Amino acid sequence: MAQEWHPQVGTKRRIGRSALEASALSLGTAPLGGLYRDLTEEEAQATVDAAWQAGIRFFDTAPHYGHTKAEHRLGAALRRYPRSEYVLSTKVGRRFVPRTHVYDGSEGWQDPLPFEAIYDYTYGGILRSFEDSQQRMGIVDIDILLVHDIGRYTHGERHPHYWQQLTEGGGFRALDELRAAGTVKAVGFGVNEREVILDAMREFQIDCALLAGRYTLLEQAPLDDLLPACLERGVSILLGGAFNSGILAQGLSGERKFNYGDAPPDVIDRVARLDAVCHSFGVPLAAAALQFPYAHPAVATVLNGARSAAEVRENAASFARPIPADLWLALRDEGLVDPRAPLPAA
């Protein structure tokens, strides 16, 4: 039998060509913004504390999460720790102003703060959003700035308008100036689709991209183009959504959510097959889901959200759980993993 392999939570990989290094497992903070269920201030602090105790040293947030709530909570939690010992990223592309419309709950935030977003990817919009994030978190040194939710997945027919704000409206120039001045150490994108990352790399030199849900045990299409391009250009992937919105966290015994909605029959069938193979090796599906993407050399970190200290500890244990290398070979032999995908190995 092949040897077992498992990554360590605190293992570091460099982010792009920057001097930054990310811990193998990182904390996403949409749950701190009240995604689907709100947290108390104490629960938010305990979640960040548990991440720190587990060895996590990379934290990602965004103004969008809870309409600025997550940035407030993460900043308050992280200010207790030495600034030189962690990497922090946030996002630009939305400016938040006092709410003028009743929030309808369609974005999934529970009890968000009383602000609403204006999409703005222009030079001035990005600089203003960055300064607002510094003040909300009470942290001046933000390491990574990511352009959030641009692309047809978010904007549909309005995408060309917002893309023009980046190219002709000075958005890319703002990112370049912040990086050149050392105000931030890396810039990139935070999106749910690989195509717009490829478009960005043709226009501008990014360091990294937070890609949510597209390179997982269920989906490996980025092997066709994005991941090879990232390796060639020295761009790191910050891999979000390893559970594909939840269905890979507990298999079919939990909530059958896929890409923020109900999982279709073909996905349910594939998850059942994945779970069966994992079960035959005595390995939880969640552990395989978290470890699989980290085997790709373009992936600098696996970014996972958590809404409690217990969830953080559970994710950290899954990420570090020993998994027989033969499990990965079995998944490949069953046609459940693309044969081009790097497999975790000793």
Return d(Cα 56, Cα 87) in angstroms, integer: 10
Phi, psi of 224 (to 5 degrees): -70, -40
Any idea where the domains of the chain sit in the sequence? 4-333
pLDDT exceeds cutoff 60 at 2: no
- Which of 204, 96, 95, 197 is closest to 150 using CA atoms? 197
Mean pLDDT (the chain, rounded) = 95
Average pLDDT over residues 205-225: 96
Given a contact cutoff of 8 angstroms between Cβ atoms, the answer to whether 93 and 150 are in contact is yes
Active site residues: 60, 65, 91
pLDDT exceeds cutoff 70 at 5: no
Render pLDDT for 122-143 as a digit per residue (tens, 0 to 9). Answer: 999 999 999 999 999 999 999 9
pLDDT exceeds cutoff 50 at 335: yes
Task: Could you please state the CATH topology (level 3) that the domain comprising 4-333 is classified under.
Answer: TIM Barrel (3.20.20)
pLDDT exceeds cutoff 80 at 97: yes
Going by pLDDT thresholds of 50, 70 and 90, the confidence category of residue 3 is low
pLDDT score at 346 = 46
- What percent of the chain clears pLDDT 70, i.e. is strictly above it? 98
- Count H helices and E strands in the chain, helices first: 13, 16
Instruction: Look up the pTM and report it.
Output: 0.96
- Which of 78, 167, 184, 162 is closest to 117 using CA atoms? 162
Render pLDDT for 246-283 as a digit per residue (tens, 0 to 9). Answer: 899 988 887 788 887 889 999 999 999 999 999 999 99
Render pLDDT for 35-82 as a digit per residue (tens, 0 to 9). Answer: 999 999 999 999 999 999 999 999 999 999 999 999 999 999 999 999
